[in-house]
Copies of this chain bind each other. A is one copy, B any other.
Amino acid sequence: MSLQPVELNKAYRLLQVGPTTMISAKHNGNANVMAAAWVSLVGINKVMAYIGPQAYTRGLVEESGLFAVQIPVVSQMETVLYAGEHSYRDRPDKNHKIPTFYLKEFDVPLVEGCAGWLVCKVIPNAAYELEHNLFMGEIAGAWSDDRVFRNGHWIFDEAPDELRTIHYVAGGQFYAIGKGTRFDHGPGKD
């Protein structure tokens, strides 16, 4: 795989396909990764993520003002379940099972093996955060595995099936993204 930067005005396309994500953050030497299904776009340059009060990651986001949203793939389903079922609070060795790496631009851990990564700077809003557990972030950097997202487009049908995005429902049930169809018109044309 080759990690490539994604133009910021096309980074929304990483999320618009509706994948289940993982959110990571770091503060003061503590880093964590959580599973997150409730992450959405707010326009093309902002992200809104639901981070519940029990999540250890939440404090790291609040303190550092930074979080990463990454897009795991078929080969990582068990990692996503593991991240969702265990809290760093109860299992401080949790992250040994979730390998991460760092880019020089941002001090936030990124999960290895994902299809895409968005680093977001928190736009502080106490009302959203306290009332509804919603954290808004401006997309400050984005990268993709260019085997599956290249030149601003997903190319799932050309890539190995292990790199398809995953979409969690409930009770251990995931669906992978499937077959593509392209019309010669539609919003967001290059």
Q: Measuring CB to CB, which residues of chain A are less than 8 angstroms from any residue of chain B? A: 10, 13, 16-20, 35, 37-43, 46, 48, 50, 74, 77-78, 81, 84-85, 127-128, 132-134, 136, 152-154, 156, 164, 167-190
A175 to B165, CA, bound (A): 11
The contact of A173 among B46, B128, B186, by CB within 8 Å, is B186
User: Residue on B with the closest CB to A37?
Assistant: B16
Interchain CB contact under 8 A, A172 and B189? yes
A72 to B59, CA, bound (A): 37
Which residues of chain B come closer than 8 Å to A134, judged between CB atoms?
Answer: 42, 48
- Shortest beta-carbon distance, A37 to chain B, in Å? 5
Decide if the interface of chain A is mainly helix, strand, loop or mixed: mixed
Interchain CB contact under 8 A, A78 and B42? no
Question: Knowing A181-B176, A185-B81, A186-B81 touch, does A169 contact B16 (C-beta < 8 A)?
Answer: yes
A171 to B16, CA, bound (A): 12
User: Residue on B with the closest CB to A171?
Assistant: B189
- Shortest beta-carbon distance, A138 to chain B, in Å? 12
- Shortest beta-carbon distance, A148 to chain B, in Å? 12
A43 to B37, CA, bound (A): 10
Which residues of chain B come closer than 8 Å to A186, judged between CB atoms?
Answer: 81, 84-85, 168, 170-173
- Shortest beta-carbon distance, A158 to chain B, in Å? 13
A10 to B173, CA, bound (A): 14
A2 to B127, CA, bound (A): 41
- Shortest beta-carbon distance, A114 to chain B, in Å? 16
| 7 pairs of residues in contact across A and B, judged by CB atoms under 8 Å | A18-B19, A38-B41, A40-B48, A81-B187, A170-B187, A171-B188, A178-B179
